[in-house]
Structure 1
Amino acid sequence: MLAAFFKLGLTSFGGPVAHLGYFRTEFVERRRWLDDRSYSDLVALCQFLPGPASSQVGMALGLGRAGWLGALAAWAGFTLPSAVALILFAFGVAEWSGLASSSVVHGLKVVAVAVVAQAVMGMAKSLCPDRLRAGLAVSAALAVLAVPTALGQVAVIALGGLVGRFAVRVDQLQPATHRDYGVSKTVGATLLVLFGVLLIGLPAFAAATGSMVASAIAVFYKAGALVFGGGHVVLPLIQSGVVPTGWVSNDTFLAGYGAAQAVPGPLFTFAAYLGAAMHAPLGGWVGGFTLLLAMFLPAFLLVAGALPFWETIRQRGGVQQAMGGVNAAVVGVLVAALYDPVWTSAIHTKADFGLSLAAFGLLVFGRVSPVVVVAAAAVVAGALQL
């Protein structure tokens, strides 16, 4: 179990859609742990929930195969390679003070513009198929630019769900037989309640104690709990929580985000980099793994808690409509993040724009691997001293 997911954690480049393809090849076709119908049903659940969809699929696969320890092994194997690589990168940024502002790291920030732009374009195409949802996305972007705080982003997503509940039209899903993952409805309900308690309780505890550690855990737990649409959407939620507070500088933040494009596995391991890059009492390995766990904990609670209730939940038309509005609002949040902080912090000259445009063309039209594009941008920026 651990070895199978560790291999995928070392080799799964290309984002969550590619990860799901790797999982299907390994666990449906090669190992035959489940059939195509069960796998598709599981993917539908994890796309429906907030959090890192590919990691949640991996957790559920491990849970169905070997119980709770299987879920832990699946998560650890798939997540640790990229998390360790990003923590080591954070040590490099801390050791060499000029690294965060070097031309090579500036290249990582520039290519982040292309990566986020590609994500915006792809998500808009699939999540905003009509005028209403396109309008929701534009309105959400304007609102987040006007109120650039974590609270503003959460409010926009909530309002998107409310509008979607009463205005979005979606096709009714066909009933399907759901696979048993060994989680009872009682245990599932307990996990969902715990998810909600932590979502509300962690910020309250942090405010009451004034603890920097508790505050950071609350920020990353909330980001992991409220992010719909893939890892790129976590960018604005975390940025508004860690940069204005001074926990990391904006240059350090964007350098790590650029580096995260070059490692395999889930983009949510960006949390490990930030935890390692922070000052005491966080920082280093302890900080990296603490915030990594805080980011992924809500994903585990949600997927394990929802599995026993999945078919009932997904057939409710109101839930599907609300999710349509939420997803459209998420596109708007990411559009706002594309401008600030990604564009404003990286694009200062015509050369910056040209390098970002070239990276975008390679990603979208050339279909070149993000790993190759990120590496090339860093090399070009270093050579040209951008």
Structure 2
Amino acid sequence: MTPAARVQSAIEVLDLVIASVRREGASADRIAAEWFRTHRFVGSKDRRAIRDLVWQAIRTCGEVPMSGRAAMLALAAADPALAALFDGSGYGPAAIVPDEPVAVAGLAPAWLEAQLAASDITAEQGVGLLGRAPLDLRANRLKTTRDALLAQLPVTAETTQAPDALRLPGGTPVETWPAFAEGLFEVQDTGSQLACRALAVQPGEAVVDLCAGGGGKTLALAAALDGRGQLLACDIDRARLSRLPQRAARAGALAEIRLLDPGRELVALADWAGKADAVMVDAPCSGTGTWRRGPEARWRLTAQALARYARMQADVLRIGGELVRPGGRLTYVVCSLLDAEGPDVIAAFLAANLQWRAAEQDVGAGTPRGAGLRLTPWDDATDGFFFATLQRL
């Protein structure tokens, strides 16, 4: 393909992504994969170039663009070489005409930028939210150590703030390596690893991962238990939870897995009421801290959805609190940088539950925010997180 044809192909993919966002359809990743599946003549180098253009455009446009062409023109406005490819030749895009629509560059839709500003996210921190994410591994202590894993990786890696973490370039095909099949590591962002560390799980304890999902944090908690104690992983999402047994078997992790019914969680968890030493509440959230991995998510979030998340977060925090024994602890985690989903949720819980207090957290990274810590890509080179550890008196 010519460079101009790559630009036109990126415009076609962007049109599909924009249409999907407006109808709350499939993700940009899925749309791009399907487009490439139906355009098998596109070579690997062309695929990479097209994907790069698509994701650059998504990262550039704060509001949902009116069209793929408008989004690409926003890129071209700052790149004369790209603008020159709009020449109408061959399979390339039509020449640029005066006053045609050009998408506006920005961090996010205006209402969401206001929410971030109200949560004291600076312009520099906002830039970090839209960068390219690395790929972090967690050495599985049940089978190896970070140093031993580092010595056998086929590529160079660097360490991060988390004691078991190694960092590689994004896109490294780690799941094809023998060490992955052997369960020597899991893919897990350093920020997520630090959130697990905040719970300070010790061998022999009774631990609950209340919103286990696919089990990333569950496996980290299992490694901290070192095969001693009890670990319950539960969720209301059957599809996500169904991936955990295979992952746990590969990692050599021991955990009871329990599917919960929405609205009846405490009924199913009656045997754990007031008995857990430690509870992880990885609450559903807007994911504003993970835009590096899925930047079009900021086009999909609405104020109404944010309000729904806040209600769910308060509810799941309440449920988690019911499971903790006196003297036990709970860590609340969201991969969001909005105060409405982090500090505000914790402040409301503490105000309504005087038998709880905020506990000390020292994980080697993060900035105090309310009763917890905030991690950002700009400040900590992690995904964006808020987490707070609470102790029941």
TM over 0.5: no
Q: In which range does the TM-score fall when normalised by the shorter chain? A: under 0.3
